Protein backbone atom coordinates (compact mmCIF):
# COMPACT_ATOMS: atom_id res chain seq x y z
CA UNK A 1 0.00 0.00 0.00
CA UNK A 2 1.27 3.44 -0.89
CA UNK A 3 2.01 6.20 1.59
CA UNK A 4 -1.01 8.08 0.26
CA UNK A 5 -3.31 5.19 1.05
CA UNK A 6 -2.02 4.96 4.60
CA UNK A 7 -2.80 8.65 5.08
CA UNK A 8 -6.48 7.71 4.78
CA UNK A 9 -7.87 6.94 8.23
CA UNK A 10 -8.33 3.25 8.93
CA UNK A 11 -12.08 3.61 9.38
CA UNK A 12 -12.38 5.02 5.87
CA UNK A 13 -10.19 2.31 4.37
CA UNK A 14 -12.39 -0.28 6.10
CA UNK A 15 -15.56 1.42 4.88
CA UNK A 16 -14.27 1.46 1.32
CA UNK A 17 -13.53 -2.26 1.54
CA UNK A 18 -17.04 -2.89 2.79
CA UNK A 19 -18.54 -1.10 -0.19
CA UNK A 20 -16.45 -3.15 -2.65
CA UNK A 21 -18.95 -5.80 -3.74
CA UNK A 22 -16.34 -7.94 -5.52
CA UNK A 23 -14.19 -7.99 -2.41
CA UNK A 24 -17.17 -8.84 -0.23
CA UNK A 25 -18.16 -11.73 -2.48
CA UNK A 26 -14.63 -13.13 -2.71
CA UNK A 27 -13.91 -12.75 1.00
CA UNK A 28 -17.16 -14.28 2.14
CA UNK A 29 -16.70 -17.38 0.01
CA UNK A 30 -13.02 -17.91 0.76
CA UNK A 31 -13.00 -17.35 4.53
CA UNK A 32 -16.09 -19.51 5.02
CA UNK A 33 -14.46 -22.27 3.00
CA UNK A 34 -11.20 -22.06 4.98
CA UNK A 35 -13.07 -22.11 8.31
CA UNK A 36 -14.96 -25.26 7.32
CA UNK A 37 -11.88 -27.04 6.01
CA UNK A 38 -9.89 -26.29 9.13
CA UNK A 39 -12.69 -27.41 11.40
CA UNK A 40 -13.08 -30.73 9.56
CA UNK A 41 -9.34 -31.34 9.56
CA UNK A 42 -9.07 -31.02 13.33
CA UNK A 43 -12.32 -32.91 13.98
CA UNK A 44 -10.60 -35.79 12.20
CA UNK A 45 -7.39 -35.46 14.19
CA UNK A 46 -7.83 -36.33 17.87
CA UNK A 47 -4.17 -35.76 18.71
CA UNK A 48 -4.37 -32.24 17.25
CA UNK A 49 -4.87 -30.42 20.54
CA UNK A 50 -1.94 -32.12 22.23
CA UNK A 51 0.29 -31.41 19.24
CA UNK A 52 -0.71 -27.74 19.33
CA UNK A 53 0.42 -27.59 22.95
CA UNK A 54 3.68 -29.33 22.05
CA UNK A 55 4.29 -26.93 19.18
CA UNK A 56 3.69 -23.96 21.43
CA UNK A 57 6.07 -25.33 24.05
CA UNK A 58 8.76 -25.88 21.40
CA UNK A 59 8.44 -22.29 20.19
CA UNK A 60 8.57 -20.99 23.73
CA UNK A 61 11.71 -22.94 24.61
CA UNK A 62 13.35 -22.23 21.26
CA UNK A 63 12.94 -18.47 21.58
CA UNK A 64 14.61 -18.53 24.97
CA UNK A 65 17.76 -19.80 23.28
CA UNK A 66 17.26 -18.24 19.89
CA UNK A 67 20.91 -17.22 19.60
CA UNK A 68 22.12 -20.78 20.10
CA UNK A 69 19.64 -22.19 17.61
CA UNK A 70 20.58 -19.59 15.01
CA UNK A 71 24.28 -20.31 15.45
CA UNK A 72 23.62 -23.98 15.08
CA UNK A 73 21.49 -23.39 12.00
CA UNK A 74 24.20 -21.22 10.45
CA UNK A 75 26.88 -23.84 11.14
CA UNK A 76 24.70 -26.54 9.59
CA UNK A 77 23.98 -24.51 6.47
CA UNK A 78 27.66 -23.65 6.03
CA UNK A 79 28.64 -27.27 6.48
CA UNK A 80 26.38 -28.03 3.53
CA UNK A 81 28.19 -25.42 1.46
CA UNK A 82 25.62 -22.66 1.83
CA UNK A 83 26.18 -19.10 2.98
CA UNK A 84 24.37 -17.40 5.84
CA UNK A 85 23.74 -13.65 6.08
CA UNK A 86 22.32 -11.65 8.98
CA UNK A 87 20.14 -8.63 8.26
CA UNK A 88 19.16 -6.32 11.07
CA UNK A 89 16.99 -4.06 8.95
CA UNK A 90 14.98 -4.34 5.72
CA UNK A 91 17.62 -2.14 4.04
CA UNK A 92 20.36 -4.58 4.98
CA UNK A 93 18.30 -7.52 3.79
CA UNK A 94 17.66 -5.85 0.44
CA UNK A 95 21.32 -4.95 0.05
CA UNK A 96 22.35 -8.56 0.71
CA UNK A 97 19.94 -9.94 -1.90
CA UNK A 98 20.87 -7.27 -4.46
CA UNK A 99 24.54 -8.03 -3.95
CA UNK A 100 23.93 -11.73 -4.55
CA UNK A 101 21.90 -10.89 -7.67
CA UNK A 102 24.65 -8.62 -8.98
CA UNK A 103 27.37 -11.22 -8.48
CA UNK A 104 25.21 -13.79 -10.24
CA UNK A 105 24.59 -11.36 -13.10
CA UNK A 106 20.90 -12.01 -12.65
CA UNK A 107 18.36 -10.44 -15.00
CA UNK A 108 15.31 -12.41 -13.90
CA UNK A 109 14.48 -13.72 -10.45
CA UNK A 110 11.69 -16.24 -9.92
CA UNK A 111 10.10 -16.10 -6.50
CA UNK A 112 8.14 -18.54 -4.42
CA UNK A 113 5.63 -16.93 -2.06
CA UNK A 114 7.38 -15.15 0.82
CA UNK A 115 5.91 -12.75 3.35
CA UNK A 116 9.43 -11.89 4.53
CA UNK A 117 10.24 -10.61 1.04
CA UNK A 118 7.06 -8.52 1.15
CA UNK A 119 8.11 -7.20 4.54
CA UNK A 120 11.40 -5.90 3.14
CA UNK A 121 9.79 -4.62 -0.10
CA UNK A 122 12.18 -6.73 -2.12
CA UNK A 123 10.39 -6.66 -5.48
CA UNK A 124 10.62 -2.88 -5.76
CA UNK A 125 14.32 -3.02 -4.89
CA UNK A 126 15.00 -5.74 -7.47
CA UNK A 127 13.20 -3.81 -10.19
CA UNK A 128 15.15 -0.67 -9.38
CA UNK A 129 18.35 -2.67 -9.72
CA UNK A 130 17.36 -4.00 -13.14
CA UNK A 131 16.37 -7.49 -12.02
CA UNK A 132 12.85 -8.55 -12.98
CA UNK A 133 11.12 -10.38 -10.14
CA UNK A 134 8.50 -12.92 -11.18
CA UNK A 135 6.12 -14.27 -8.59
CA UNK A 136 5.37 -17.93 -9.27
CA UNK A 137 2.76 -18.74 -6.66
CA UNK A 138 -0.51 -18.39 -8.58
CA UNK A 139 -2.02 -15.94 -6.11
CA UNK A 140 1.15 -13.87 -5.97
CA UNK A 141 1.41 -13.99 -9.76
CA UNK A 142 -2.11 -12.56 -10.01
CA UNK A 143 -1.47 -9.69 -7.65
CA UNK A 144 1.87 -8.94 -9.24
CA UNK A 145 0.10 -8.60 -12.58
CA UNK A 146 -2.44 -6.33 -10.87
CA UNK A 147 0.34 -4.28 -9.17
CA UNK A 148 -1.12 -5.00 -5.74
CA UNK A 149 0.09 -6.39 -2.42
CA UNK A 150 -1.05 -9.66 -0.80
CA UNK A 151 -4.26 -9.33 1.20
CA UNK A 152 -3.94 -12.61 3.08
CA UNK A 153 -0.90 -14.41 4.47
CA UNK A 154 -1.44 -17.65 2.56
CA UNK A 155 -4.00 -16.64 -0.06
CA UNK A 156 -2.58 -13.37 -1.40
CA UNK A 157 -5.28 -12.87 -4.04
CA UNK A 158 -8.17 -13.85 -1.78
CA UNK A 159 -9.75 -10.47 -2.51
CA UNK A 160 -10.22 -11.25 -6.20
CA UNK A 161 -13.07 -13.14 -7.83
CA UNK A 162 -12.32 -15.52 -10.68
CA UNK A 163 -14.08 -13.12 -13.03
CA UNK A 164 -11.67 -10.36 -12.04
CA UNK A 165 -8.71 -12.67 -12.62
CA UNK A 166 -9.97 -13.54 -16.11
CA UNK A 167 -10.25 -9.81 -16.89
CA UNK A 168 -6.78 -9.21 -15.51
CA UNK A 169 -5.28 -11.96 -17.67
CA UNK A 170 -7.07 -10.58 -20.74
CA UNK A 171 -5.66 -7.13 -20.07
CA UNK A 172 -2.13 -7.97 -18.95
CA UNK A 173 -1.39 -11.20 -20.84
CA UNK A 174 -3.61 -10.48 -23.86
CA UNK A 175 -5.20 -13.87 -23.39
CA UNK A 176 -8.94 -14.47 -23.46
CA UNK A 177 -9.68 -17.09 -20.84
CA UNK A 178 -12.93 -18.27 -19.29
CA UNK A 179 -13.45 -17.33 -15.64
CA UNK A 180 -12.65 -20.89 -14.70
CA UNK A 181 -9.94 -21.64 -12.13
CA UNK A 182 -8.51 -24.54 -14.08
CA UNK A 183 -8.33 -22.67 -17.38
CA UNK A 184 -6.77 -19.66 -15.62
CA UNK A 185 -4.23 -21.88 -13.93
CA UNK A 186 -3.25 -23.43 -17.26
CA UNK A 187 -2.53 -20.01 -18.71
CA UNK A 188 -0.43 -18.98 -15.71
CA UNK A 189 1.40 -22.29 -15.80
CA UNK A 190 2.39 -21.84 -19.44
CA UNK A 191 3.53 -18.26 -18.82
CA UNK A 192 5.52 -19.23 -15.76
CA UNK A 193 7.24 -22.23 -17.32
CA UNK A 194 9.16 -19.83 -19.59
CA UNK A 195 10.21 -17.70 -16.67
CA UNK A 196 11.44 -20.64 -14.62
CA UNK A 197 13.69 -21.75 -17.44
CA UNK A 198 15.33 -18.39 -18.00
CA UNK A 199 15.67 -17.21 -14.40
CA UNK A 200 19.16 -16.85 -12.94
CA UNK A 201 18.03 -16.39 -9.39
CA UNK A 202 15.46 -18.18 -7.25
CA UNK A 203 14.11 -16.38 -4.19
CA UNK A 204 12.03 -18.05 -1.51
CA UNK A 205 10.97 -17.54 2.05
CA UNK A 206 11.14 -20.38 4.55
CA UNK A 207 8.32 -21.88 6.54
CA UNK A 208 10.92 -23.44 8.82
CA UNK A 209 14.66 -23.97 9.00
CA UNK A 210 15.96 -26.91 10.99
CA UNK A 211 18.96 -26.00 13.13
CA UNK A 212 20.39 -29.51 13.49
CA UNK A 213 20.44 -30.27 9.77
CA UNK A 214 20.46 -26.89 8.02
CA UNK A 215 17.31 -27.84 6.14
CA UNK A 216 15.15 -25.05 4.77
CA UNK A 217 11.52 -26.15 4.52
CA UNK A 218 9.01 -24.76 2.06
CA UNK A 219 5.35 -25.68 2.17
CA UNK A 220 3.44 -25.10 -1.07
CA UNK A 221 0.50 -26.48 -2.99
CA UNK A 222 1.67 -25.74 -6.49
CA UNK A 223 5.17 -27.15 -6.62
CA UNK A 224 6.52 -23.77 -7.63
CA UNK A 225 8.74 -23.78 -4.57
CA UNK A 226 10.49 -26.85 -5.91
CA UNK A 227 11.05 -25.21 -9.31
CA UNK A 228 12.37 -22.01 -7.75
CA UNK A 229 14.83 -23.92 -5.60
CA UNK A 230 16.09 -26.30 -8.28
CA UNK A 231 16.14 -24.57 -11.65
CA UNK A 232 18.01 -21.25 -11.20
CA UNK A 233 21.75 -21.24 -10.58
CA UNK A 234 21.42 -19.35 -7.32
CA UNK A 235 18.87 -19.78 -4.53
CA UNK A 236 18.31 -17.20 -1.80
CA UNK A 237 15.98 -18.01 1.09
CA UNK A 238 14.88 -15.14 3.33
CA UNK A 239 13.38 -15.86 6.71
CA UNK A 240 12.49 -14.15 9.95
CA UNK A 241 14.83 -15.38 12.69
CA UNK A 242 11.92 -16.86 14.64
CA UNK A 243 11.32 -19.52 11.98
CA UNK A 244 14.18 -21.72 13.16
CA UNK A 245 13.17 -25.05 14.72
CA UNK A 246 15.65 -27.16 16.67
CA UNK A 247 15.25 -30.61 15.14
CA UNK A 248 13.59 -32.71 12.46
CA UNK A 249 11.34 -34.23 15.13
CA UNK A 250 10.13 -30.74 16.03
CA UNK A 251 9.56 -30.02 12.36
CA UNK A 252 7.20 -32.99 12.07
CA UNK A 253 5.04 -31.57 14.85
CA UNK A 254 4.76 -28.20 13.14
CA UNK A 255 4.02 -29.77 9.77
CA UNK A 256 1.21 -31.81 11.32
CA UNK A 257 -0.64 -28.68 12.44
CA UNK A 258 0.39 -26.06 9.86
CA UNK A 259 -1.50 -27.24 6.77
CA UNK A 260 -4.48 -28.35 8.84
CA UNK A 261 -4.76 -24.85 10.27
CA UNK A 262 -4.14 -23.10 6.98
CA UNK A 263 -6.13 -25.05 4.40
CA UNK A 264 -7.45 -28.07 6.24
CA UNK A 265 -4.99 -30.37 4.46
CA UNK A 266 -3.14 -33.09 6.34
CA UNK A 267 -0.02 -31.91 4.55
CA UNK A 268 0.38 -29.41 1.79
CA UNK A 269 0.78 -30.94 -1.66
CA UNK A 270 4.50 -30.18 -1.64
CA UNK A 271 6.78 -30.07 1.35
CA UNK A 272 10.14 -29.10 -0.08
CA UNK A 273 13.26 -29.70 2.00
CA UNK A 274 16.32 -27.89 0.74
CA UNK A 275 19.79 -28.69 2.03
CA UNK A 276 22.35 -26.26 0.69
CA UNK A 277 23.56 -26.07 -2.92
CA UNK A 278 23.80 -29.00 -5.34
CA UNK A 279 26.39 -31.50 -4.23
CA UNK A 280 28.77 -33.48 -6.41
CA UNK A 281 26.86 -36.20 -8.21
CA UNK A 282 23.46 -34.55 -7.77
CA UNK A 283 21.51 -33.82 -10.94
CA UNK A 284 19.64 -30.72 -9.88
CA UNK A 285 19.83 -27.85 -7.46
CA UNK A 286 21.54 -24.49 -7.49
CA UNK A 287 25.26 -23.83 -7.60
CA UNK A 288 24.91 -21.38 -4.75
CA UNK A 289 22.65 -21.32 -1.72
CA UNK A 290 22.18 -18.31 0.55
CA UNK A 291 20.12 -18.02 3.71
CA UNK A 292 19.22 -14.49 4.86
CA UNK A 293 18.22 -14.31 8.53
CA UNK A 294 16.03 -11.27 9.06
CA UNK A 295 15.73 -9.53 12.42
CA UNK A 296 13.75 -6.34 11.68
CA UNK A 297 12.59 -5.78 15.25
CA UNK A 298 12.06 -9.41 16.20
CA UNK A 299 15.08 -9.86 18.45
CA UNK A 300 14.24 -6.68 20.34
CA UNK A 301 10.82 -8.15 21.11
CA UNK A 302 12.14 -11.44 22.53
CA UNK A 303 11.62 -10.20 26.06
CA UNK A 304 8.90 -7.73 25.09
CA UNK A 305 5.14 -7.74 25.53
CA UNK A 306 4.57 -8.95 21.95
CA UNK A 307 6.92 -11.91 22.31
CA UNK A 308 4.17 -14.45 21.75
CA UNK A 309 3.56 -13.08 18.26
CA UNK A 310 6.94 -14.62 17.40
CA UNK A 311 5.35 -18.07 17.75
CA UNK A 312 3.32 -17.35 14.60
CA UNK A 313 3.55 -19.99 11.84
CA UNK A 314 1.90 -17.71 9.24
CA UNK A 315 -0.96 -20.12 8.61
CA UNK A 316 -3.58 -17.40 8.27
CA UNK A 317 -6.18 -19.21 10.39
CA UNK A 318 -6.71 -16.16 12.61
CA UNK A 319 -7.53 -14.06 9.55
CA UNK A 320 -10.18 -16.47 8.31
CA UNK A 321 -12.05 -16.56 11.62
CA UNK A 322 -11.68 -12.89 12.50
CA UNK A 323 -15.03 -11.12 12.13
CA UNK A 324 -13.22 -7.88 11.29
CA UNK A 325 -10.94 -9.40 8.65
CA UNK A 326 -13.96 -11.14 7.12
CA UNK A 327 -15.61 -7.75 6.69
CA UNK A 328 -12.70 -5.69 5.40
CA UNK A 329 -10.10 -8.06 3.94
CA UNK A 330 -6.37 -7.53 4.16
CA UNK A 331 -5.63 -4.34 2.25
CA UNK A 332 -7.60 -2.10 4.60
CA UNK A 333 -5.14 -2.89 7.39
CA UNK A 334 -2.55 -1.06 5.32
CA UNK A 335 0.55 -3.06 6.25
CA UNK A 336 2.40 -6.17 5.11
CA UNK A 337 0.73 -8.49 7.60
CA UNK A 338 -3.07 -8.18 7.83
CA UNK A 339 -5.59 -9.58 10.27
CA UNK A 340 -5.34 -9.95 14.03
CA UNK A 341 -1.79 -11.32 14.04
CA UNK A 342 -0.88 -8.64 11.51
CA UNK A 343 -1.76 -5.89 13.98
CA UNK A 344 0.73 -7.36 16.45
CA UNK A 345 3.42 -7.92 13.81
CA UNK A 346 2.96 -4.36 12.55
CA UNK A 347 3.41 -3.06 16.08
CA UNK A 348 6.52 -5.21 16.42
CA UNK A 349 8.05 -4.13 13.11
CA UNK A 350 6.97 -0.48 13.12
CA UNK A 351 6.25 0.39 16.75
CA UNK A 352 2.98 0.86 18.69
CA UNK A 353 2.24 4.27 17.17
CA UNK A 354 1.77 2.53 13.81
CA UNK A 355 -1.24 0.65 15.19
CA UNK A 356 -2.97 3.53 16.95
CA UNK A 357 -6.18 2.74 15.07
CA UNK A 358 -5.55 -0.91 14.28
CA UNK A 359 -5.19 -1.84 17.95
CA UNK A 360 -8.92 -1.20 18.15
CA UNK A 361 -9.78 -3.15 15.00
CA UNK A 362 -10.94 -6.10 17.07
CA UNK A 363 -14.05 -6.89 19.08
CA UNK A 364 -11.79 -9.06 21.28
CA UNK A 365 -14.03 -12.01 20.45
CA UNK A 366 -11.18 -14.49 20.87
CA UNK A 367 -11.94 -16.57 17.77
CA UNK A 368 -8.29 -16.06 16.74
CA UNK A 369 -6.89 -17.73 19.86
CA UNK A 370 -9.09 -20.75 19.29
CA UNK A 371 -8.00 -21.08 15.69
CA UNK A 372 -4.30 -20.41 16.21
CA UNK A 373 -2.28 -23.63 15.99
CA UNK A 374 0.03 -22.38 18.76
CA UNK A 375 -2.72 -20.58 20.70
CA UNK A 376 -1.21 -17.10 20.51
CA UNK A 377 -3.24 -14.92 22.88
CA UNK A 378 -3.87 -12.12 20.41
CA UNK A 379 -6.63 -10.31 22.37
CA UNK A 380 -4.40 -10.17 25.44
CA UNK A 381 -1.65 -8.47 23.45
CA UNK A 382 -4.13 -6.10 21.78
CA UNK A 383 -5.25 -5.07 25.25
CA UNK A 384 -1.61 -4.49 26.14
CA UNK A 385 -1.12 -2.33 23.06
CA UNK A 386 -4.21 -0.29 23.87
CA UNK A 387 -2.87 0.24 27.34
CA UNK A 388 0.47 1.35 25.97
CA UNK A 389 -1.24 3.76 23.58
CA UNK A 390 -3.07 5.26 26.54
CA UNK A 391 -0.01 5.46 28.77
CA UNK A 392 2.10 7.05 26.06
CA UNK A 393 -0.69 9.52 25.33
CA UNK A 394 -0.96 8.29 21.76
CA UNK A 395 -4.74 7.95 21.84
CA UNK A 396 -6.69 10.89 20.32
CA UNK A 397 -7.36 13.65 22.85
CA UNK A 398 -11.12 13.52 22.34
CA UNK A 399 -11.13 9.88 23.29
CA UNK A 400 -8.94 10.48 26.33
CA UNK A 401 -11.33 13.15 27.59
CA UNK A 402 -14.36 10.92 27.01
CA UNK A 403 -12.83 8.00 28.87
CA UNK A 404 -11.61 10.29 31.64
CA UNK A 405 -15.20 11.43 32.17
CA UNK A 406 -16.50 7.88 32.03
CA UNK A 407 -13.93 6.81 34.62
CA UNK A 408 -15.11 9.53 37.01
CA UNK A 409 -18.72 8.67 36.50
CA UNK A 410 -18.21 4.96 37.11
CA UNK A 411 -16.19 5.55 40.25
CA UNK A 412 -18.87 7.77 41.84
CA UNK A 413 -22.36 6.28 42.18
CA UNK A 414 -24.01 9.65 42.78
CA UNK A 415 -22.53 11.04 39.61
CA UNK A 416 -23.55 7.84 37.81
CA UNK A 417 -27.16 8.24 38.97
CA UNK A 418 -27.15 11.89 37.99
CA UNK A 419 -25.84 10.97 34.55
CA UNK A 420 -28.68 8.46 34.15
CA UNK A 421 -31.20 11.21 34.96
CA UNK A 422 -29.57 13.69 32.60
CA UNK A 423 -29.37 11.02 29.91
CA UNK A 424 -33.10 10.37 30.27
CA UNK A 425 -33.81 14.05 29.64
CA UNK A 426 -31.40 14.36 26.74
CA UNK A 427 -32.69 11.26 24.97
CA UNK A 428 -36.27 12.52 24.86
CA UNK A 429 -36.16 14.18 21.44
CA UNK A 430 -34.66 11.01 19.95
CA UNK A 431 -36.78 8.38 21.71
CA UNK A 432 -39.87 6.66 20.37
CA UNK A 433 -41.48 3.43 21.60
CA UNK A 434 -38.57 2.61 23.85
CA UNK A 435 -35.86 3.07 21.24
CA UNK A 436 -33.50 5.88 20.39
CA UNK A 437 -32.55 6.91 16.87
CA UNK A 438 -30.63 9.66 15.13
CA UNK A 439 -28.26 10.61 17.95
CA UNK A 440 -25.64 13.28 17.20
CA UNK A 441 -21.83 13.12 17.35
CA UNK A 442 -20.03 9.93 18.31
CA UNK A 443 -23.26 8.34 19.58
CA UNK A 444 -24.58 8.62 16.05
CA UNK A 445 -22.09 5.93 15.21
CA UNK A 446 -24.37 3.59 17.08
CA UNK A 447 -27.72 4.82 15.82
CA UNK A 448 -26.68 5.04 12.18
CA UNK A 449 -27.46 1.38 11.61
CA UNK A 450 -28.96 0.25 14.92
CA UNK A 451 -31.57 1.38 17.42
CA UNK A 452 -30.38 2.08 20.94
CA UNK A 453 -32.54 1.06 23.89
CA UNK A 454 -33.74 4.02 25.97
CA UNK A 455 -32.34 4.58 29.42
CA UNK A 456 -35.17 2.96 31.35
CA UNK A 457 -37.74 5.22 33.05
CA UNK A 458 -36.62 3.55 36.27
CA UNK A 459 -33.23 1.87 36.48
CA UNK A 460 -32.96 -1.58 37.99
CA UNK A 461 -31.45 -0.16 41.15
CA UNK A 462 -34.41 2.22 41.52
CA UNK A 463 -36.83 -0.63 41.01
CA UNK A 464 -34.88 -2.79 43.44
CA UNK A 465 -35.09 -0.11 46.14
CA UNK A 466 -38.87 0.06 45.64
CA UNK A 467 -39.12 -3.72 45.79
CA UNK A 468 -37.22 -3.81 49.08
CA UNK A 469 -39.59 -1.21 50.55
CA UNK A 470 -42.52 -3.44 49.52
CA UNK A 471 -40.82 -6.49 51.01
CA UNK A 472 -40.44 -4.76 54.34
CA UNK A 473 -44.08 -3.73 54.45
Partner 1 sequence: MSAPRRVSLMITCLGDLFFPEVGMSMVRLLRRLGVAVECPSGQTCCGMPLFNSGYHREAAAVAARTLDLFRDAEHVIVPSGSCAYMVKHEYPGLLAATPAARRAAESLAARTWELSQFLVRVLGVRELTSAVKGRVTYHDSCHLLRGLGESEAPRTLLQALPGVELVELPGADECCGFGGSFAVRLPEVSAGILDRKLANVEATGAGCVVACDAGCLMQLGGGLRRRGSRVRPLHLAELLGGDGT
User: Which residues contact partner 1 by CB under 8 A?
Assistant: 11, 14-15, 18, 323-324, 326-328, 359-367, 369-370, 383, 385-391, 395, 399, 403-404, 406-407, 409-413, 416, 420, 423, 435, 442-443, 445-446, 448-456, 458-465, 467
CB 411, CB 418: distance < 8 Å:
no
In the sheet with 435-436, reading across from the earlier edge strand, the strands are: 431-432, 435-436, 452-453
Kindly compute the dihedral angle of the four CA atoms of residues 50, 53, 59, 65, in this order, to the nearest 10 degrees: -100
Q: How far is the CB of 368 from partner 1 (least distance, A)?
A: 10
Distances (CA, A) of 245 to 128, 214, 237, 252, 376: 34, 10, 16, 10, 17
Nearer to partner 1, 68 or 370 (CB): 370
- Nearer to partner 1 by Cβ, of 266 and 458: the residue is 458
Q: Which is nearer to partner 1, 56 or 326 (CB)?
A: 326
Q: How far is the CB of 26 from partner 1 (least distance, A)?
A: 15
Q: How far is CA 82 from the centre of its chain?
A: 30
Measured from the CB atom, the residue of 35 and 248 that comes closer to partner 1 is: 35
Q: What are the angstrom distances between the C-alpha of 423 and each of 311, 414, 417, 451, 456?
A: 47, 14, 10, 16, 10
Q: How far is the CB of 462 from partner 1 (least distance, A)?
A: 8
Residue 204 CB, shortest distance to partner 1, in Å, is 35
| Smallest gap from residue 346 Cβ to partner 1 (A) | 17
For 30, phi then psi, to 5°, come to -70, -45
Phi, psi dihedral angles at 13 (to 5 degrees): -60, -40
Question: 103 or 421: whose CB is closer to partner 1?
Answer: 421
Q: How far is the CB of 84 from partner 1 (least distance, A)?
A: 41
Of 269 and 406, which CB lies nearer to partner 1 in the complex structure? 406
Q: 177 CB contacts (<8 Å, ≥6 apart)?
A: 166, 169, 170, 183, 184, 187
Closest separation between CB of residue 453 and partner 1, Å? 4
Question: Based on CB atoms, which residue is closest to partner 1, 116 or 382?
Answer: 382
Q: Please name the residues in contact with 337: beta carbons below 8 A apart, sequence gap of 6 or more.
A: 115, 119, 153, 345, 346
Amino acid sequence: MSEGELATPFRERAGRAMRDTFLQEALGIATTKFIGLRREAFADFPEGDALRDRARAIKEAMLQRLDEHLERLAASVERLGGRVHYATTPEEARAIVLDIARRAGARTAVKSKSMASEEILLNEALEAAGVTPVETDLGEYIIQLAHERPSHIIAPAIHKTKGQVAELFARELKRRVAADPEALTQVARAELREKFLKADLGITGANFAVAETGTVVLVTNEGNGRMVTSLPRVHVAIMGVEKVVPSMTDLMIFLAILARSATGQKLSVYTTLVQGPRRAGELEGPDEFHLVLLDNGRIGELAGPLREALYCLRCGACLNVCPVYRQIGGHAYGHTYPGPIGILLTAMLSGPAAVRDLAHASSLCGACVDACPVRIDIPRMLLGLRRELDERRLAPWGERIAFGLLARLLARPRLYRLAARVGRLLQRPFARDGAVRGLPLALGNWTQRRDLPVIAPRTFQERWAALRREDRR
